[in-house]
């Protein structure tokens, strides 16, 4: 055994040892960041990292991983793979959930570097090139990873494209099984990733089953060159059955795993969402589309912000030109056809994914967020094409004997930039200061009491923002949470917001009792921020601005429903998401619930008091900061 280990060590090349060194450098730099944090670098009211924390707490304290972390009887708001892995990691090592998120990010540096390195080495058969690709795809600013989106970018998408290239190259049963498993795991990593992997799955299938057998032939007639396309029918017929079986294996395994999340959305809801109004984009606007295109071009081809972005923009352009030259001339035919074709398929998928809304929005009225599919495809496509461009240029100017040295110089140049770019990124992050300060003590004490004295599926009444915060810190449920992307798109959050308004501020006690039972309410959580989380009120008691009140769509149904229980509202054409307001977002017709607050410490209707008993309280001096009431309905 010792001899075997020594022989493996002897087989390590200098690139492998340098990879280990780079990983250690990243671990050291990231540790320098996370050691400063006493909380998450994100707002506790509405921040994505804190909602991710709530998803982890939900699972680690016994909640159903396949259910919502923020409300009962719904699907998860954030996808389940990252949350489940971190929850298990936290329980295995007896870590606090925030600690687990930080340390899991260290583990992700190790795993993502290995996956990206071996994928690029398997693709290009060049370890020096693969090393450069790793630091291009995984700059230090990608870490720490504290959310499922970044987890999907750094690990799952490279793993997916690696497994699909293995399938493309080998075409064996083993490669099909591996690709199917990775397909399924990606599908439960992120919703937009599910869209991307299915697009690429179809692209690769169509190529392997049909398009690879279309052979272009040049026909010289006088001074004109005509290209004729011929179909290689014999090879197509011979291989079609095997290709169909192979992709069927991938699909059956992958789709079966994906149903852990996607069963209800596909077979129960049939893809039809609740129509909830969240932050949206004017996707059909010519101005938005032209701005999107210009931002795409600037971000990928004309980004000269620093050395790394300049270098990648230039060589990405070279890579795209080289790819065209490969198919149009004989100058780059030194590339293996398999590699060039796979790179082309990845690039085409990235372009389609980035601009899919131009087709899906007018034709189907749907989109998978205008930027998310681009985030999951363009970085890997860009990295591959940068490497393709560097190799092609070195070949064209005939300096192959210096290739390793030139790539090493580029690698060192990129690595030297990392610490300063990281420092700028940290200092320019508006939430860095928040992460360096501990959470307010009332939050710490509240979460401690709730975790020790309540069940993970207990339901709390509170405002949108307060519901968000206590869910983040405890994993316990609310009737509502923030109405942006922090819940299932199939959840009728508008009905819940209207019902919560009736529970808290309505006059019909029989309806209140009915709704308390319907939502299985156990507690009410109040803190000093209750009213401020909804409205800013001046000294004369007048509302001067609004932040995140209870809101519904402005429809005849909701007007009639709220009117019937004497709930005051104000119709307004405005932005549904309090953190996303501006010309780049679309406005919606909304009804803002305008409560008649009883007092600062008891803003709800007096009729609710008879169901409540105080069970926990936090004070600072003579001031009451937070309270929890037990709610019982006989």
The pLDDT value recorded for residue 9 is: 64
The pLDDT value recorded for residue 363 is: 78
Between strands 588-593 and 551-553, the pairing is antiparallel
Quote the tokens at residue 482: 């923030």
pLDDT band at 578 (very low <50, low <70, confident <90, very high): confident
Torsion on CA atoms 21, 24, 26, 32, rounded to nearest 10 = -140
Alpha helices, H only, 301-402: 307-328, 337-354, 357-364, 372-396
d(CA 335, CA 570): 65
Quote the tokens at residue 228: 């004729």
Higher pLDDT, 163 or 2: 163
d(CA 185, CA 147): 16
Give backbone dihedrals phi and psi of 277, rounded to 5 degrees, phi first. Answer: -90, 115
Please state the rounded mean pLDDT for residues 373-391.
97
Q: Per-residue pLDDT for 7 more than 80?
A: no
Closest CA to 61 of 520, 451, 473: 451
Q: What is the DSSP letter of 458?
A: -
Which tens digit of pLDDT belongs to each residue from 392-450? 999 989 998 999 999 999 999 999 988 888 888 887 888 888 899 999 999 999 999 99
d(CA 346, CA 344): 5
Which tens digit of pLDDT belongs to each residue from 82-121? 999 999 999 999 999 999 999 999 999 999 999 999 999 9
Which tens digit of pLDDT belongs to each residue from 582-604? 777 778 899 999 999 999 999 99
Torsion on CA atoms 559, 560, 566, 570, rounded to nearest 10 = 10
Predicted TM-score (pTM) of the model is: 0.94
In the chain, the N- to C-terminal Cα span, in Å, equals 69
């Amino acid at each position: 055994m010792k001899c075997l280990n020594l022989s493996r060590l002897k087989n390590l090349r200098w690139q492998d040892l340098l990879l280990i060194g780079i990983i250690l450098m990243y671990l050291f730099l990231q540790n320098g960041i996370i050691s400063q944090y006493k909380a998450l670098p994100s707002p506790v009211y509405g921040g994505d990292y804190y909602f991710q924390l709530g998803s982890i707490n939900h699972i680690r304290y016994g909640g159903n991983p396949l259910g919502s972390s923020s409300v009962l009887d719904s699907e998860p708001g954030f996808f389940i793979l990252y949350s489940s892995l971190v929850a298990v990691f936290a329980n295995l090592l007896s870590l606090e959930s925030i600690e687990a998120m930080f340390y899991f990010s260290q583990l992700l540096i190790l795993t993502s570097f290995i996956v990206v390195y071996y994928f690029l080495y398997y693709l290009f058969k060049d370890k020096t090139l693969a090393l450069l690709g790793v630091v291009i795809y995984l700059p230090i600013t990608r870490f720490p990873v504290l959310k499922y989106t970044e987890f999907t970018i750094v690990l799952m998408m490279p793993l997916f494209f690696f497994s699909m290239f293995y399938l493309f190259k080998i075409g064996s049963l083993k490669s099909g099984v591996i690709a199917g498993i990775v397909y399924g795991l990606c599908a439960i990593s992120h919703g937009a990733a599910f869209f991307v992997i299915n697009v690429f799955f179809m692209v690769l299938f169509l190529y392997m089953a049909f398009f690879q057998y279309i052979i272009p032939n040049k026909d010289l007639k006088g001074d004109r060159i005509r290209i004729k396309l011929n179909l290689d029918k014999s090879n197509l017929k011979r291989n079609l059955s095997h290709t169909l079986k192979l992709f069927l294996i991938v699909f059956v395994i992958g789709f079966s795993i994906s149903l852990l999340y996607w069963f209800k959305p596909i077979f129960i809801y049939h893809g039809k969402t609740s129509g909830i109004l969240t932050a949206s984009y004017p996707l059909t606007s010519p101005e938005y589309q032209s701005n999107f295109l210009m931002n795409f071009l600037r971000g990928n081809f004309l980004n000269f912000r620093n050395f790394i972005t300049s270098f990648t923009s230039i060589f990405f352009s070279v890579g795209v030109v080289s790819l065209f030259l490969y198919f149009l001339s004989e100058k780059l035919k030194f590339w293996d056809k398999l590699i060039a074709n796979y790179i082309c398929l990845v690039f085409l998928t990235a372009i389609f994914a980035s601009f899919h809304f131009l087709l899906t929005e007018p034709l189907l009225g749907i989109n998978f967020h205008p930027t998310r599919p681009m985030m999951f495809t363009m970085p890997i496509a860009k990295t591959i094409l940068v490497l393709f461009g560097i190799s092609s240029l070195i070949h064209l100017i005939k300096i192959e004997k210096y290739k390793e040295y030139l790539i090493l110089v580029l690698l060192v140049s990129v690595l030297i930039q990392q610490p300063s770019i990281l420092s700028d990124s940290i200092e320019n992050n508006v939430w860095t200061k928040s992460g360096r300060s501990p959470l307010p003590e009332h939050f710490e004490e509240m979460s401690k009491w709730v975790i020790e004295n309540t069940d993970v599926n207990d339901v709390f009444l509170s405002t949108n923002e307060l519901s968000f915060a206590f869910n983040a810190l405890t994993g316990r449920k609310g009737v509502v949470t923030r109405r942006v992307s922090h819940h299932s798109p199939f959840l009728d959050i508008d009905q819940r917001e209207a019902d919560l308004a009736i529970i808290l501020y309505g006059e019909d006690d029989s309806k209140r009792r009915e709704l308390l039972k319907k939502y299985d309410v156990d507690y009410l959580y109040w803190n000093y921020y209750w009213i401020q989380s909804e409205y800013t009120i001046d000294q004369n008691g007048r509302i001067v601005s609004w932040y995140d009140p209870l809101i519904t769509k402005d429809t005849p149904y909701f007007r009639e429903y709220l009117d019937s229980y004497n709930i005051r509202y104000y119709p307004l054409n405005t932005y549904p998401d309090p953190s996303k307001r501006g010309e780049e977002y679309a406005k919606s017709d909304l009804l803002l619930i305008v409560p008649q607050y009883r007092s600062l410490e008891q803003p709800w209707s007096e009729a609710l008091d008879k169901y409540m008993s105080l069970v926990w309280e936090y004070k600072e001096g003579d001031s009451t900061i937070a309270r929890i009431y037990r709610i019982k309905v006989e």
